[in-house]
C-alpha cells in the first residue's frame, strides 16, 4: 500500500508518498518551513499544500511533536500551545496522526537498525527537542516523551537537543558530553539492548557518536530524517503493533 507521510517538526514540515511494503519514498520529499505562529490552522494549510503538491487522494499519515491519543493532541512542546486538545485527525481530514518520534521509531524497527531486535530498544530523535520511541520485542509503547525527563533541574531536551547545541554554540565533542549524560540517564531507567539515534543529527553521527561512551550499543538511525515520514505511513497502512 502507498501512503502519503507528512512529518510535522518544530522547524519544518516534510512529506512524501511512501511504499509501505519496501519502506521507501516514492518521490523526493517536499519540505516547507513550519509557520510562525505554528497554529493548527496555519499548519493544516501547509499539510494541504503538501497533499496538493503530490496530487494525493489516498490514505495520509501525519506526525506531531507531542503526545497524541486517539488522534487528539495532548501536549505541544515545540509548536504553538493552542494545539492542546485539538482533534488533529479531524483537522487533517481523517488522517492517521502519531507522535513524531514514535513514527520514526516504527520505521527504524521495521526497516532500519532495530529490525529483528528483541528486548528493549530505544529510538531517540535529536532535533528541535528530543523525541523518544520505546519498543519491547518490536512492540511500541507510545508517547513516552523521554526528552522531558528532568536533567540538571530542567527538561533534558533543553540541555542536550540539537537546538541546545546550536543555541550554546557547542562543539560536537562538547555536545557529545551532554548527549552521553542524557543517554546514561535513560540507560539507567530502561536497560535497553540498543539505542538508535535519529533526527537530523543522525546524518552527522561521525562527528559526535565516537565521543559517546555507554554500556549499551548506540548506533545512528539507518533511515535518518526520512524515518518519521515512513513510520507514520506504516501506521496509516495498519502495519504496526502498539501496546493498547
Residue 22 belongs to domain with CATH number: 3.30.420.40
Residue 111 sits in the same domain as residue 202: yes
Separation between Cα atoms, residue 65 and residue 97, nearest integer Å: 10
Residue 57 sits in the same domain as residue 167: no
Query: Of 61, 77, 98, which residue sits at a domain end?
Result: 98
Which of 53, 32, 52, 28 lies closest to 43, judged by CA? Answer: 32
241 located within any domain: no
Structural contact between residues 59 and 236, judged by C-beta atoms closer than 8 angstroms: yes
For residue 167, give every residue at least 6 positions away whose Cβ sits within 8 Å of its Cβ, in sequence order, or none. Answer: none
Question: pLDDT tens per residue, the chain (244 residues)?
Answer: 999 999 999 889 999 999 999 999 999 999 999 999 999 999 999 999 999 999 999 999 999 999 999 999 999 988 999 999 999 999 999 999 999 999 999 999 999 999 999 999 999 999 989 999 999 999 999 999 999 999 989 999 999 999 999 999 999 999 999 999 999 999 999 999 999 999 889 999 999 999 999 999 999 999 988 999 999 999 999 988 776 5
For residue 28, give every residue at least 6 positions away whose Cβ sits within 8 Å of its Cβ, in sequence order, or none. Answer: 16
Residue 161 sits in the same domain as residue 93: no
Residue 92 sits in the same domain as residue 205: no
217 located within any domain: yes
Which helix (H) or strand (E) segment holds residue 53: the answer is helix 40-53
11 located within any domain: yes
Residue 117 sits in the same domain as residue 221: yes
pLDDT of residue 239: 80
The model carries a pTM of 0.94
Residue 118 sits in the same domain as residue 58: no
What grid cell was written down for 197? 539515534
Cis omega (within 30 of 0) on the bond before 197? no
237 located within any domain: no
pLDDT of residue 243: 64
Residue 181 sits in the same domain as residue 199: yes
Query: Of 63, 98, 133, which residue sits at a domain end?
Result: 98
Domain that holds residue 146: 104-225
Residue 88 sits in the same domain as residue 108: no
pLDDT of residue 225: 84
Structural contact between residues 221 and 112, judged by C-beta atoms closer than 8 angstroms: yes
8 located within any domain: yes
**What stretches of 161-226 show up as alpha helix (H) in DSSP?**
162-167, 172-190, 205-208
Query: CA 153 from chain center: how many Å?
Result: 24
Residue 10 sits in the same domain as residue 118: no
212 located within any domain: yes
Residue 162 sits in the same domain as residue 197: yes
Number of domains in the chain: 2
Residue 137 sits in the same domain as residue 179: yes
pLDDT of residue 227: 95
Query: Of 42, 77, 98, which residue sits at a domain end?
Result: 98
Residue 133 sits in the same domain as residue 211: yes
For residue 9, give every residue at least 6 positions away whose Cβ sits within 8 Å of its Cβ, in sequence order, or none. Answer: 34, 65, 78, 100, 127, 128, 228
Q: What is the largest CA-CA distance in the chain?
A: 48
Helix (H, G, I), strand (E, B) or coil at 97: strand
238 located within any domain: no
pLDDT of residue 77: 81
230 located within any domain: no
**Strand-pair category, 120-126 with 194-198:** parallel
Amino acid at each position: 500500500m502507498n501512503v502519503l507521510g507528512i512529518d510535522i517538526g518544530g522547524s519544518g514540515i516534510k512529506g512524501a508518498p511512501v511504499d509501505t511494503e519496501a519502506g521507501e519514498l516514492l518521490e523526493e520529499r517536499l519540505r516547507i518551513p513550519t509557520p510562525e505562529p505554528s497554529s493548527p490552522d496555519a499548519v493544516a494549510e501547509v499539510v494541504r499544500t503538501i497533499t496538493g503538491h503530490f496530487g494525493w487522494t489516498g490514505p495520509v499519515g501525519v506526525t506531531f511533536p507531542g503526545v497524541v491519543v486517539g488522534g487528539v493532541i495532548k501536549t505541544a512542546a515545540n509548536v504553538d500551545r493552542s494545539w492542546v486538545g485539538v482533534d488533529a485527525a479531524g483537522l487533517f481530514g481523517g488522517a492517521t496522526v502519531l507522535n513524531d518520534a514514535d513514527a520514526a521509531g516504527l520505521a527504524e524497527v521495521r526497516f532500519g537498525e532495530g529490525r529483528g531486535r528483541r528486548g528493549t530498544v530505544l529510538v531517540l530523535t535529536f532535533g528541535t527537542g528530543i523525541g523518544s520511541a520505546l519498543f519491547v520485542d518490536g512492540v511500541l509503547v507510545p508517547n513516552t516523551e523521554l526528552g522531558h525527563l528532568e536533567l540538571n533541574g530542567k527538561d533534558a531536551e533543553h540541555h542536550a537537543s540539537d537546538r541546545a547545541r546550536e543555541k550554546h554554540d557547542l562543539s560536537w565533542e562538547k555536545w557529545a558530553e551532554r548527549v552521553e549524560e542524557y543517554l546514561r540517564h535513560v540507560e539507567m531507567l530502561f536497560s535497553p539492548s540498543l539505542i538508535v539515534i535519529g533526527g537530523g543529527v543522525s546524518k552527522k553521527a561521525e562527528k559526535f557518536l565516537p565521543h559517546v561512551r555507554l554500556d549499551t550499543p548506540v548506533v545512528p538511525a539507518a533511515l535518518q530524517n526520512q524515518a518519521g515520514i515512513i513510520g507514520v505511513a506504516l501506521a496509516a497502512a495498519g502495519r504496526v503493533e502498539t501496546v493498547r
